[in-house]
Amino acid sequence: MATQYEISGTTAKGIAGSVERGVTEGALPPGAALPPVRRLADELGVSPGTVATAYKELRRRGIVVTRGRGGTVVAPAPAVASRRPPKVPEGLRDLAGGHPDPALLPALVPPSRLSPGTRAHRSTPRLARLEDAVRDWLGADGIPVEHVTFAHGALDLIGRVLSVELRPGDGVAMEDPGYHHLLDLVTALGLRMVPVAVDDEGMRPDALRMALRAGVRAVVFSPRAQNPYGGCFSAARRDALADSLRGESDVLVVENDHASEVADAPLHTVTGAGLARWVHVRTVSKFLGTDLRWAAAACDPVTLARHDGRLLLTSGWVSHLLQETVHGLMTDEGTRGLVARARETYALRRTALAGELAAQGIASHAASGMNLWVPVRDESAAVNGLRSYGWWVAAGARFRLASAPGVRITAADLEPAEAKRLASDFATVLGESEATYGG
């Protein structure tokens, strides 16, 4: 219970502000339980309705969640504080971050041409040559490219289109397990997440149909290198998903192709399937550099207008200096060769680890991308057990909504020779866990 932090206030706004301060300052950590409505009302000398209104506002803003009989608790990733990954303990091999191998990224050299003086960037927010390169890039995979736009990374773009399309409380169909930063973002926007199960071919059509019947207003999925599960659309899966979405004119479909060039899987996109509202998003952070906060998107004309209208009122445009850097790398033959080598290397490392785990009798999911999802009975036992052997992996809890436990292992810089030792250590840890907790 939240007994070490004294909530104050005599109005709904004041009570909500007091809770928010406690969360921001760390006095109310994620998972901390708030007092029941009637008890807090008695303590503060206000009506239960006042406290209920405060809690409702906190829920709308993604600061707290209600768990039925479990009461109201601080959200796992409250919107008032960014959830950073846990610090990697000294001396451990970090396989938890989800990042590319730095050795397979090009050197970032800013262009020598800087924007001369003051220019009307709002009137020309996109460099024409980069826009042409993006149309070639996306169009080669069959994506309609009549309408394209840029943003400051995939999350920036997805957050913007969701915020202009949806209202707090609207439902969003999300992959489960799914990318934790996307899950946090949807919560922070005050939207309601509807979990949709995934498998090795991505989002499952039967689960998507259930979400659509529940009245979701948007669907967010990855067509390949799904994070953390690794699934990728087959042509048949793409067709089945498109059949479910076709005719849902009020549903915005967000296709997040975050790993694109290094996914080691062909793109089977739903964007050319006659959908009314759609956006295909790509970023370059996985293969050009994690510090390149830039994303491109192709979309329907209504989504383009709404996204660009909101962008115009906020940052206005994506830095032309950044655009020049991205264009230089995208059109450089040497960089293209490095990206091709990265794609092959990530596939080799991922499949090597999956093979070694299978040899130990450990199932994993790793159809594409840089990560493997390994189902386990007890996430804490697996993470702490591997830590004792010098490995640091990501517990699956922050990726899951309603799916079964697991851990995510990033194999981007794990050499095949290391995979054998990791798999052996994993098998030992699972054996120790079963001996302790039962099989």
Average pLDDT over residues 1-21: 84
Average pLDDT over residues 360-388: 97
Q: Which residues contact 17 (CB under 8 A, 6 or more apart)?
A: 9
Angle CA(357)–CA(362)–CA(368) in degrees, nearest 5? 60
Residue-wise pLDDT for 226-284, tens only, equals 999 999 999 999 999 999 999 899 999 999 999 999 999 999 999 988 999 999 999 99
**How confident is the prediction for the chain on average, in pLDDT?**
92
* Mean pLDDT in residue range 138-152: 97
Residue 109's pLDDT is 77
Determine which helix (DSSP H) or strand (DSSP E) holds 206, and give its type and residue range: helix 205-213
DSSP per-residue string spanning 240-266: HHHHHHTT-TT-EEEEE-SSGGGSSS-
- Mean pLDDT for 150-162 is 96
pLDDT the model gives residue 231: 97
What backbone phi and psi angles, to 5 degrees, belong to 218?
Answer: -150, 155
Question: H-type helices in 288-415, by residue range?
Answer: 301-313, 320-330, 333-359, 379-388
Q: Using one digit for the tens of pLDDT, what is the confidence trace for 72-121?
A: 999 877 777 645 667 888 899 999 999 999 999 999 877 766 555 556 67
Distance CA 223, CA 270 (A): 9
| Banded pLDDT at 168 (limits 50, 70, 90) | confident
Output the pLDDT for position 435: 55
Burial class (CB in 10 A: 0-12, 13-18, 19+), 305: middle
* 437 — pLDDT class (breaks 50, 70, 90): very low
Report the alpha-carbon distance of residue 34 to residue 122 in Å, rounded.
46
| 398 vs 372, higher pLDDT | 372
What pLDDT, on the 0 to 100 scale, is given for residue 83? 52
Q: Which domains does the chain have, with CATH numbers?
A: 12-74 (1.10.10.10), 93-101+335-437 (3.90.1150.10), 126-332 (3.40.640.10)
pLDDT for 292 beyond 60: yes
DSSP 368-403: SSSEEEEE-S-HHHHHHHHHHTTEE-EEGGGG-SSS
| pLDDT band at residue 2 under the 50/70/90 scheme | very low
Q: How confident is the model at residue 439 (pLDDT cuts 50, 70, 90)?
A: very low
pLDDT value of residue 438: 47
Contact 29, 74 (CB under 8 A): yes
Who wins on pLDDT, 192 or 201? Answer: 201
Rounded distance between C-alpha atoms, residue 324 and residue 328, angstroms: 6
Residues 115-139 have a mean pLDDT of 84
Q: Cβ distance 307 to 157 under 8 Å?
A: yes
What integer pLDDT is reported at residue 349 of this predicted model?
98
Task: Check residue 67 and give its pLDDT.
Answer: 81
- pTM listed for this prediction: 0.85
pLDDT digits (tens, 9 = 90+) for 30-85: 889 999 999 999 999 999 999 999 999 898 878 888 887 779 999 877 777 645 66
Confidence check: pLDDT of 224 > 80: yes
Mean pLDDT calculated for residue range 394-400: 94
How much of the chain exceeds pLDDT 90, in percent? 78
Query: What is residue 173's predicted lDDT score, i.e. its pLDDT?
Result: 98
